[in-house]
Amino acid sequence: MFSSTRCAFLNNAGLGGCGSICEGARKRSSPMTVVCMTPSSSRSVDRNSSVVMETPLKELKKDSAVADVDGDSVSAGGPQDVYGEDRATEDQFVTPWSVSVASGYTLLRDPHFNKGLAFSEKERDAHYLRGLLPPTVIPQETQVKKMIRHIRQYQVPLQKYMAMMDLQERNERLFYTLLINHVEELLPVVYTPTVGEACQKYGSIFMRPQGLYISLKEKGKIREVLRNWPEKNIQVVVVTDGERILGLGDLGCQGMGIPVGKLSLYTALGGVRPSACLPITIDVGTNNEELLNDELYIGLKQRRATGQEYAELMHEFMTALKQTYGEKVLIQFEDFANHNAFDLLEKYRSTHLVFNDDIQGTASVVLAGLVAALKLVGGNLADHRFLFLGAGEAGTGIAELIALETSKQTNSPLEEVRKNIWLVDSKGLIVSSRKDSLQHFKKPWAHEHEPVRNLLDAVNQIKPTVLIGTSGQGRTFTKEVIEAMASNNEKPIILSLSNPTSQSECTAEEAYKWSQGRAIFASGSPFPPVEYEGKVFAPGQANNAYIFPGFGLGLIMSGTIRVHDDLLLAASEALASQVSQENYDKGLIYPPFTNIRKISAHIAAKVAAKAYELGLATRLPQPKDLVKFAESCMYTPSYRSYR
């Protein structure tokens, strides 16, 4: 091996290139590759052909092995980009660095660097690709056209999902370019609602690992398991234990589709580099009898661990994440059951950078929709009465954020503004006479009122102006319920938020038809436009994808160390501000996804600004223009030209 002190493998622009020693060692007659590293380094070799620095960056700088690389700068929304790959403009050349310079068949099998038929004639010569590809050269734009035609030929959504996942494993940059360019069409494919079916059938469609699996078998050695992941500079971890996947229940280890899908959106919509993202599934067993008896089930075939055994595994996991990836790694909880979701968030929010998308992300995106809806119905939050069907993590999370924003706007005590917010669970309206039997997260919503058993009676007695469904129970907003809302309000706000589509409390068509076209409607899963009495209504989608990619980017680019409720309010206000008059004219309370990366940049800027204001940001000094800074931090999946 050659010492990196003798091989200047970056040029003055911070781009890949090898010095004379490496060049001399590589003969044109052979596709041999040469590794430039320091033998004495203690860092492990990356096992997934990712870029590896075998000597710490500071030491390399001392020896002038790296030029013009700022170790303190943010690079493309991800970790330090020491090879200048994403710092380069698209017309600059980079070298496809792997453990060594990637070439030949290996290069074509590396999804991070593979460009398929887009390799130029010079690149095919330089990297020993002659004969390994057909002779034609096709640019990325044409590849995108080809792939979207390929995806569209499938009629079954799960087949489209599998085709997208296969592309991600073959050609990472093409996958993200395709997803960004056709985000409205492909978002339901890579995430809700299709990801729900993918999780249900994950055992039969599983082809290769897409994330990290940590089970009870790894208890006591979770740090060692984390070291097995090939990327070392992780900034976002999305983790699930699979107990409450969307509205589908306990899917155990097969819940991996959720973290994988979420992190795809972190990159496509929020610009966080793929190498900085880590999907994890915690496998503590499953109580799903069908899975336990399925020979194709990929997880532990045992009942779920609970109590101390579960708590100890999660504590070791959280401690190991912080020890391995540092204080500022963002840990996003996904689809944990209520009893664990609230406990984990409360336990670790003061010691880790944690965010529960089901509780906080859903709350933020729904609050944004409500703030926008006020432009259509008038008044402010304090003038409205809210009724929820569903009092789990989503329902109570939304209710609490509405109360926080209302309290902030009116300078009223939180306990006072909560009285305008009512929740219905499986046993009826949550009232004070039930307080002793309620779970702790429901108790703040137990108001003075006589018991009410069903939703229709609650609507008639409470007379809400806003009806929100987070029950996970399909078709529970019946015709009678919608008609009651319409009789009490000129423009009833109806949010049917449960996922996937089959679990939605009502369809868009039902909401518009039963309210005589007067409802302001949004849902968790997408619905097509609805025509009613000659007018076309475009239903909005209260999708968490509006919030969490930009929210996460804002935390990363500011170096925020803790999530504060005010950051969620800032994200909501930023999203609501992106709804244009043109959107309002169509009855929309959310902007279209076509501009989602710009929306994410604005959300990131507002979140970062609030973090700096609260003293939670550590990346100093604060950039002057946070929107431009957010845009500059975003990963762009356009192909790079290789040497």
Note the Cα 181 to chain centre separation in Å.
18
Instruction: Name the one residue in this structure whose structure tokens are 């409450």.
Output: 244
- Confirm or deny that 12 is annotated as ligand binding: no
Cα–Cα distance for residue pair 322/89, rounded to 1 Å: 34
Name the nearest CA neighbour of 192 among 365, 446, 395: 365
- Confirm or deny that 499 is annotated as ligand binding: yes
- Confirm or deny that 358 is annotated as ligand binding: yes
User: Quick check: 491 and 519 in contact, CB under 8 A?
Assistant: yes
- The type of residue at 550 is G
128 counts as catalytic = no
The two three-digit tokens of residue 131, written as one number: 């004969």
Rounded to 5 degrees, φ, ψ at 422 are -120, 145
The two three-digit tokens of residue 133, written as one number: 């590809």
191 counts as catalytic = yes
The single residue of 115, 160, 262, 442 carrying the catalytic annotation is 262
Cα–Cα distance for residue pair 506/497, rounded to 1 Å: 9
User: Quick check: 275 and 235 in contact, CB under 8 A?
Assistant: no
Q: At what angle do helices 548-558 and 596-614 cross, to 10 degrees?
A: 50
Helix, coil or strand: residue 638: coil
The two three-digit tokens of residue 426, written as one number: 């499986």
Q: At what angle do helices 157-170 and 183-190 cross, to 10 degrees?
A: 100
CA distances 235 to 109, 263, 267, 277, 513, Å, are 25, 11, 12, 6, 46
- Confirm or deny that 244 is annotated as ligand binding: yes
The single residue of 83, 128, 161, 191 carrying the catalytic annotation is 191
Q: What DSSP character marks residue 359? A: I
* Peptide linkage before 157 cis (omega within 30 of 0): no
Helix, coil or strand: residue 608: helix
State the CB neighbour count (10 A cutoff) for residue 109: 13
Q: Which residues are annotated as a binding site for (S)-malate?
A: 244, 499, 543
Active site (catalytic) residues: 191, 262
Binding residue positions: 244, 334-335, 358, 499, 543
- Binding-site members for a divalent metal cation are 334-335, 358
